[in-house]
Amino acid sequence: MSDTRTQLILGNLSPIISIYGSAKFLRVCHKSVADFLLDRERSESFAIDCATQNANLAQACLRLMNQELKFNILGLETSGLFNDDIPNRDTRVKSAISTALVHSSLYWAEYLEGISGEDLDCSALRAELRRFLHEHFLHWLEVLSLMNAVHRAPGLLIAAAKWIGVSAPHHDPTCGSQVRFILVF
């Protein structure tokens, strides 16, 4: 469709759908749209499978964290500083920690909670989670600390532990006792 036609259609749908931001994101403004999209019988080919989308979002968050998290993310000269004593902390945090990394760090495990389908292949997701826990766990805690959000860590880890218990039975070799041990602290 042309941009003009798309704008006309979206203009007529403005009470229930709106466009915002420079990236032109769609925002659903009315619960009936979500209800429609989540009901496969009503929406048919437009239906959204929540479990699949939550798995995709969790995997994307973990992949991003595995790519961007690193030791000493702010590049500080010394680790002997309290967060409040970091020179130009706000500026350094904004330049070193992307908005996507902030979102991923805060919500990755909440997406795991939305995965209920046993028929989903979560092997790639489990591999991303395993890498995160083995290679970037402390880096993640550093980022949460810099965002004043370290208090969120226990709840996110509990959500991840519950998901591992549901998605990877004890006999699953791809999710061994090492991951379980880390999350049970």
**Helix, strand, coil tally for the chain in percent (to 5):** 65, 5, 30
Lowest mean pLDDT, pick from 17-31, 35-49, 119-133:
17-31
One domain for residues 56 and 132? yes
| 150 and 87 in a common domain | yes
Q: Per the structure, how many domains does the chain have? A: 2
Share above pLDDT 70 across residues of the chain, in percent, rounded to a whole number: 85
Contact predicate 111/58, CB 8 Å: yes
39 and 120, same domain (yes or no): no
Tens digit of pLDDT for each residue in 34-70? 888 888 899 899 888 888 999 999 999 999 999 999 9
- Residue 98 and residue 17 share a domain: no
Q: Is the pLDDT at 181 greater than 90, yes or no?
A: no
Q: Over 60: is that where the pLDDT of 139 sits?
A: yes
| Section 104-125 average pLDDT | 88
d(CA 33, CA 35): 5
- Sign for the CA dihedral angle at 183, 137, 141, 111 comes to negative
pTM of the model as a whole: 0.75
Does 101 lie in the same domain as 41? Answer: no
Range of the domain at 18: 1-48
Q: Assess whether 36 and 54 both reside in one domain.
A: no
Average pLDDT over residues 149-168: 87
- Average pLDDT value for the chain: 85
Average pLDDT over residues 160-170: 72
Percent of the chain at pLDDT exceeding 90: 53
- CA gap 146, 122 in Å, rounded: 31
Determine the average pLDDT of the residues in 96-111.
96
Q: Which residues contact 25 (CB under 8 A, 6 or more apart)?
A: 19
Among 28-32, 62-66, 122-126, 155-159, the least confident range:
28-32
Indicate whether 36 and 127 sit together in one domain.
Answer: no
Residues 128 and 147 in one domain: yes
Same domain, 56 and 92: yes
pLDDT at 32 over 80: yes
